[in-house]
Amino acid sequence: MLSLIDTHAHLDEVEDIEGGIARAKEAGLVAVIAVGCDIPSNARTLEIAAMYPRFVFPALGYHPESIREPEIDANLAFIRANIAGAVAVGEVGLDYAKWVRAIAGKDLQKRVFADTLKIAKDSGRPALVHSRYAWRDALDLVISSGVEKAVFHWYTGTSGVLRDIISHGFYLSVTPAVEYHAVKEAPLNRLLLETDTPVVYARGREGEFKSTPSDVLRSLKGAAALKGFSEAELAAVTTENAKRLFGILGV
């Protein structure tokens, strides 16, 4: 059985945690990186990680969709206070979709993102970056922060920014929606696998499914086909990439 790691899952949004974890283990997963978005989800993520030690590893974040001006200081303080028990800072970043900018404008998002990146740098943790429609700005902020380790989650931006992400030694993570150019262009030593659980894929089309961590097998199969490698080769490389990045070599 192949050893796999889901490097980006919102387990706090999963209703059947016990069943989801059991299916993940049956599918060959050796670890799940569970990400948070705000204080409630970060707190729940820490609880779930405590329930499944050495299998679920928490990342604490502040998603751009969750930013509310009066709550910023409390959210940042929660991450700082608990980062020692997490393997990454995430999910954090920028989102320039119109509806998100109506909640938190670009300047506010950039300020919060810079603050979360400082936590990542100060703690030596990787940053798990959301960058929808904000690819260049997100990369520029990561570079200027001095953060050495970052993952651009579900990257669908331009080839120019992609080349710069790779040249700086950052990573990209592959979802079950593998048909995007970053998967083809990124070298194996910069790739990770993820599900973004519980995202619904193929929404409104034949084959629609609500993802769980076991669906990282779909990410693997699709990426292997696109890259022209065997599933075993891709599984071995991406799993080792994740173990080194998150400091979980013993799983």
Average pLDDT, the chain: 96
Whether 230 shows a pLDDT value over 90: the answer reads yes
Q: Is 201 helix (H, G, I), strand (E, B) or coil?
A: strand
Least confident window among 27-31, 132-136, 206-210? 206-210
pLDDT tens per residue, range 147-158? 999 999 999 999
Whether 205 shows a pLDDT value over 90: the answer reads no
| Mean pLDDT, rounded, for 8-17 | 97
pTM, full prediction:
0.97
The CATH number of the domain covering residues in 4-246: 3.20.20.140
* Domain range summary for the chain, segments of one domain joined by +: 4-246
| Mean pLDDT, rounded, for 224-235 | 95
Q: Give the pLDDT band (50/70/90) at residue 250.
A: confident
| Mean pLDDT, rounded, for 115-128 | 98
Least confident window among 12-21, 52-61, 180-189? 180-189
CB under 8 Å to 194, separation ≥6 — which residues? 6, 7, 8, 9, 153, 154, 173, 174, 175, 216, 219
pLDDT tens per residue, range 50-99? 999 999 999 999 999 999 999 999 999 999 999 999 999 999 999 999 99
